[in-house]
Amino acid sequence: MNDRRPDAIVVGAGVVGAACAVALARDGLRVLVLDADAAALGTTAAGMGHLVVMDDSPEQLALTRYSTSLWRAQSDAVRAASELDWCGTVWVAEDETQLDAVRAKQRLYSEHGVDAELLDQTSLIEAEPQLRPGLAGGLLVPSDGVIYQPSATVALLALARELGAEVLERMPVEEIIPCGVRCGVDTLRADIIVNAAGASAASLTPALPVVPRKGHLVITERHPGFCRHQVVELGYLTSAHVMTSESVAFNVQPRSTGQVLIGSSRELVGWDASVNRRVLSRMIARACSFMPGLAALTAVRTWTGFRPATPDKLPLIGRWPEVPGLWIAAGHEGLGITTSLGTAAILADLVAGREPAIDAAPYAPDRGVPAGVH
Q: Which residues bind another protein (CB under 8 A)?
A: 38, 40-41, 45, 150-151, 154, 218, 220-224, 244-246, 257-258, 262, 269, 272, 275-278, 280-282, 284-285, 287-288, 294-303
Q: Which is nearer to another protein, 181 or 297 (CB)?
A: 297
Closest approach, Cβ 106 to another protein, in A, equals 32
Q: Least distance in Å: CB of 171 to another protein? A: 13
3-state secondary structure 7-53: CEEEECCCHHHHHHHHHHHHCCCCEEEECCCCCCCCHHHHCCCEECC
- The CB-of-24 to another protein minimum distance in angstroms stands at 24
Q: How far is the CB of 6 from another protein (least distance, A)?
A: 24
The minimum distance between CB 225 and another protein, in angstroms, equals 9
- Shortest Å distance, C-beta 278 to another protein: 4
* Residue (of 357, 370, 33, 371) closest to 195 by Cα position: 33
Sign for the CA dihedral angle at 314, 229, 261, 290 comes to positive
Residue among 6 and 150 whose Cβ is closer to another protein:
150
Cα distances (angstroms) measured from residue 274 to each of 221, 302, 303, 304, 306: 22, 10, 8, 7, 11
Tell me, what amino acid is at 149? Q
- The nearer residue to another protein, 115 or 221, going by C-beta atoms, is 221
Nearest to 45 by CA among 306, 356, 333: 306
Opening angle at CA 137, ends 131 and 142, nearest 5: 85
Min CB(35)–another protein separation in Å: 11
Quote the least distance from Cβ 226 to another protein, whole Å: 12
Which amino acid, residue 48? M
* Cα angle value 366/371/374 (rounded, 5°): 120
The DSSP-derived string for 322-355 is TSTTEEEEE--GGGHHHHHHHHHHHHHHHHHTPP
Residue 157 to residue 196: CA distance in whole angstroms: 14
Q: What angle do CA 263, 372, 171 make, to 5 degrees?
A: 70
